[in-house]
Amino acid sequence: MTNLSPNKASRFLDKTLYEFWGFCVNGGTSLTVPGGMAAVSYPVGFQSGSTVLLAAGNDGATSFGFDVFESASTNFSKIFSGSLIGKYLVTWVPGDNSTDDSVYYIKSVEDATHIRVDMHSGGTRRLGNHPWFWDRQGISFRIVDIMQATNLTGWQDGHYMVLNFVGAPTVNHGQTVPQVKYAHHTGSNASEGVVGLTFSPAGTWNGATFSDGTPENLTRWFGFTADGSGGNTYRGQSTYTFIGGNDFLIAEARALGPPEDGLGVQAGMSFGSGFHIEIPQRLYSEEADLNPLAWTTWFNATPSQVAATYYNGFQMVGLDSNVHNWTLLVRSPHGTQVRPDYTGNAYGTGQWQQFGVPAFRFAFTSFDSDGDQYITSDGMLSLSTPGQFSLARARLRHARFTTNDLQRGARIGDPILDPNAWVHISNGVLWPWDNSIMPEGPMRFGV
């Protein structure tokens, strides 16, 4: 996005997350009631108001290899007094879990029943070197004006969504559905741009609060000055990335970075801010660990600093009901050692990263040149706090790790043949990926 003030950028994030999580990931048969949410509290009209939701239907269709969306029952040329260019198409098929379920920028209205979208904005599997739609019928869809949502009156501190991670019981037997409260906040200077996250491993939302909620995790996403503090109103370019399923959610906003002259930053941002929340696989018994829930957050971070939070920044609620930072354990690419990283630096998991340094005699040891494959490792969460010791409590399922000799944006695996495909973020951290090719990679801005 371009030319967004920090306030507008923050509101844009909220609305896009609402559409992505509530419909693309968790959408059901309703075109107006989101799935995967226990509560939504935002300005009047935010969800499906007449100026925000411009059209909806369940007869959408796409054809393999094209970027055109069709609805025979919708007259795209008459549903809005202005142009649909710049509005967004939200698509899903209940229960389908297709990579085509996403939020797409509308480029043009081809005729009364066809619109053309920017496939790179939503991301989907590739055909050749470009992402394209696949053959689908009966697609549920919403056409929303996200910018209009940012212009609604009534925005204030404390708006929120309570997200349900309904896939948890399919990950761990007997687990309840954890919940996370995502809150929209102003900072100390009344500039919007602060995201608050409250975690409830047992999912105890009662309409007002949690009985097992953690202290709120506050992170400034927008409104940075050049020194990293909050409070400006400068505008510029930023990108939003959402990767999710009903058992995990990764979200990030990233900008070009602070200007050299120190006069302003893009969308009030310095680099990127985001979070990763997931239901990890429990490694202890159900009785010992009923509801595992893990998360990490970052702010004002370069890609390598984002990687460092994966190696050192995951948090979980311990047996004492307090939040602890957990150490990441990865399988050694050499021998039988399991090597944790305690340094917190951008090189991450110590030994793995040493193998990526060209001067090291084992450089590129993770690459099988004959099979054209890289070895990767699971990450397990360990805690050494006295009285709370846990050698390996849980295994992360939506992040993997390798050496740092891969180029950022390199893809591993083929999701058409293997659902476990990944993309290299930085310094050996891999995110789940649908094998789409984005013009500038998964982290467009930042160094």
Contact 334, 375 (CB under 8 A): no
What integer pLDDT is reported at residue 159 of this predicted model?
97
What b/e readout covers 4-34, taking b as 16+ CB neighbours within 10 angstroms?
bbbbbbbbbbbbbbbbbbbbbbbbeeebeeb
What integer pLDDT is reported at residue 347 of this predicted model?
40
| pLDDT interval class at 264 (50, 70, 90) | very low
9-22 mean pLDDT: 96
| pLDDT interval class at 406 (50, 70, 90) | confident
Contact 88, 55 (CB under 8 A): no
| pLDDT interval class at 340 (50, 70, 90) | very low
- The domain segmentation of the chain, as residue ranges, is 6-150, 159-432
The tokens describing 275, both together, are 């979070």
Q: What is the pLDDT of residues 18-72, one digit of tens each?
A: 999 999 999 999 999 999 999 999 999 999 999 999 999 999 999 988 999 999 9
Q: DSSP assignment of 23-75, as one string?
A: IIIT--S-SSSPSSEEEEE-STTTTT-TTTEEEEEEEEEE-TT--EEEETT--
Checking if the pLDDT of 135 tops 80, the result is yes
- Residues 6 or more apart from 227 whose CB is under 8 A from it? none
What integer pLDDT is reported at residue 120 of this predicted model?
80
Lowest mean pLDDT among 75-79, 268-272, 362-366: 362-366
- Residues 6 or more apart from 364 whose CB is under 8 A from it? 355, 356, 403, 405
Checking if the pLDDT of 266 tops 60, the result is no
What integer pLDDT is reported at residue 284 of this predicted model?
94
Percentage above 90 pLDDT, the chain: 52
Checking if the pLDDT of 136 tops 70, the result is yes
Contact 222, 250 (CB under 8 A): no
**Type of residue numbered 57:** G
Secondary structure class of 23 (helix, strand, coil): helix
Checking if the pLDDT of 306 tops 80, the result is yes
What integer pLDDT is reported at residue 235 of this predicted model?
47
Q: What is the pLDDT of residues 169-206, one digit of tens each?
A: 999 999 999 999 999 998 766 678 899 999 999 999 99
Lowest mean pLDDT among 86-100, 345-359, 376-390, 428-442: 345-359
What integer pLDDT is reported at residue 386 of this predicted model?
86
Compute the distance between CA of residue 242 and CA of residue 432 in angstroms, rounded to an integer. Answer: 11
Q: What is the pLDDT of residues 274-283, one digit of tens each?
A: 999 999 999 9
The tokens describing 218, both together, are 């506050």
Checking if the pLDDT of 92 tops 70, the result is yes
What integer pLDDT is reported at residue 178 of this predicted model?
98
What integer pLDDT is reported at residue 442 of this predicted model?
65
Q: Which residue has the higher pLDDT, 259 or 188?
A: 188
Round the CA-based radius of gyration of the chain to a whole number and report it: 22
Secondary structure class of 197 (helix, strand, coil): strand
By DSSP bridging, strand 88-92 and strand 136-144 are: antiparallel
| pLDDT interval class at 97 (50, 70, 90) | confident
**Nearest alpha-carbon partner for 275 in 301, 247, 295:** 295
What integer pLDDT is reported at residue 34 of this predicted model?
98
Q: What is the pLDDT of residues 358-393, one digit of tens each?
A: 545 555 666 666 667 777 889 999 998 888 888 899
Contact 377, 393 (CB under 8 A): no
What integer pLDDT is reported at residue 32 of this predicted model?
97
What angle (nearest 5°) sits at the alpha carbon of residue 145, between those of residues 111 and 131? 60
124-138 mean pLDDT: 77
What integer pLDDT is reported at residue 421 of this predicted model?
84
Ramachandran bin of 16, using left for φ above 0, alpha for ψ from -120 to 50, beta for the remaining angles: alpha
Report the chain's mean pLDDT, rounded to a whole number: 83
| pLDDT interval class at 150 (50, 70, 90) | very high
- Global pTM value: 0.90
Checking if the pLDDT of 229 tops 60, the result is no
119-145 mean pLDDT: 82
| pLDDT interval class at 434 (50, 70, 90) | confident
* Highest mean pLDDT: which range of 212-216, 342-346, 375-379: 212-216
